[in-house]
Amino acid sequence: MKKKIAEAKRVLMGLIPVASADLTTGASQAKGVAKKADIVELILVVINYAIIVIGVLAVLIFVYAGYLYLTAGGNEEKITTAKNVVLYAVVGVVVSVLGFVAVATVQRFIVQG
C-alpha cells in the first residue's frame, strides 16, 4: 500500500509544474538586491501555483467521492457520506476559482499601477 501511495505521489508531482520566477532580468542590479516588483511577482507565482494544487486536489476528491458512491452498495449512510464529499469538493473548486480571480485582479492592478 505504501508503494502505491509513493507511486501516486510521484505521478501527481509530475503533473504539477514547478513554480519559478524570472528574477535574473535585473542584471544591472547589485548582487543580492531584488526589486520590489520581483518580490511581488514571486509571491503571485507562488499563489497561482498554490491555487493550481488546490484545484488538482479538488479533482482527486471528486474521484474519491465517486469511488465512495459506487462502493456504497445501497447503504444510505455511505451514500450520504459520498454526497457530502462531493459537496465539499464543489466548495473547494469554487474557493479555488474565486482565489484565482482575486489573484488575477490584484495582479492586473499591480502591473498597471
- At 51-60, the pLDDT tens digits run 888 878 988 9
Comparing 55 with 26, the larger pLDDT belongs to 55
Residue 14 has pLDDT above 60, yes or no: no
Distance CA 39, CA 108 (A): 16
- The amino acid sitting at 12 is L
Q: Does 50 map to a domain?
A: yes
Residue 14 belongs to a domain = no
Which residues, in sequence order, are CB contacts of 109 under 8 Å at separation 6+? none
Please state, in angstroms and rounded to a whole number, the distance separating the CA atoms of residues 32 and 82: 51
Q: Is the pLDDT of residue 95 over 60?
A: yes
Three cell numbers written together for 71: 462502493
- Asked if residue 84 is part of any domain, the answer here is yes
Domain count, the chain: 1
Q: What percent of the chain is predicted at pLDDT more than 90?
A: 23
64 lies in some domain: yes
- Phi–psi pair at 94, nearest 5 degrees: -60, -45
Q: Give the C-alpha separation, 55 to 89, whole Å.
A: 9
Does a structural domain hold residue 5? no
Q: Residue 27: inside a domain, yes or no?
A: no
Residue 57 lies in a domain: yes
- Name the pLDDT band for 20 (thresholds 50, 70, 90): very low
Tens digits of per-residue pLDDT, 66-78?
999 999 988 999 9
Per the structure, the complete domain to which residue 100 belongs is given by 34-112
Q: Give mean pLDDT, residues 41-65.
A: 85
**Model pTM greater than 0.85?**
no
